[in-house]
Structure 1
Amino acid sequence: MFIVWGKKPVYRRLGYVAHFCPICRGPKPFEIRRVGSAGHLYYVSFGSGELVGYERTCQECGTALQAEPADHAAIAQRLAPLPELIRATFPQLEQVFAARLALEEQVRFNPAALSADDRQALIRGPFLLMSAKVDQRFARTHMDIGIGLAIAGAIALTLFGPGLVHLIAPSTDGGNLALSCLAVGLAAIVWQAVASRPRFVRRAVLPVLARALRPLKPTQHELEAIVAELGQLKHKMAKRIDVAELQAQLGPRAGA
Structure 2
Amino acid sequence: MAIFAIGDIQGCYDELRQLLDRVNFDPAEDGLWFAGDIVNRGPESLEALRFVRNMGDQAVTVLGNHDMHLLAVAQQASPRLKAKDTLAQILDAPDAGDLLEWLRHRPFLHTDRELGYSLVHAGLPPQWDMTQATAAARELEEVLQGPDHQDFLAVMYGNEPDQWDESLTGADRWRFMINCFTRMRFVTEDGRLDLNTKCAPGEQAQGLYPWYQAPGRRSADEHILFGHWSTAGQSEGVNFSDHNVYALDTGCVWGGTLTAFRMDEDGGWTTVDCQGCMAPGED
Q: The TM-score by the shorter chain falls in which range?
A: under 0.3
- Structure ID, larger Rg: 1
Q: If the length of structure 2 is used for normalisation, what is the TM-score? A: 0.21
Higher relative contact order (CA 8 A, sep 6+): 2
Return the structure number with greater helix share.
1
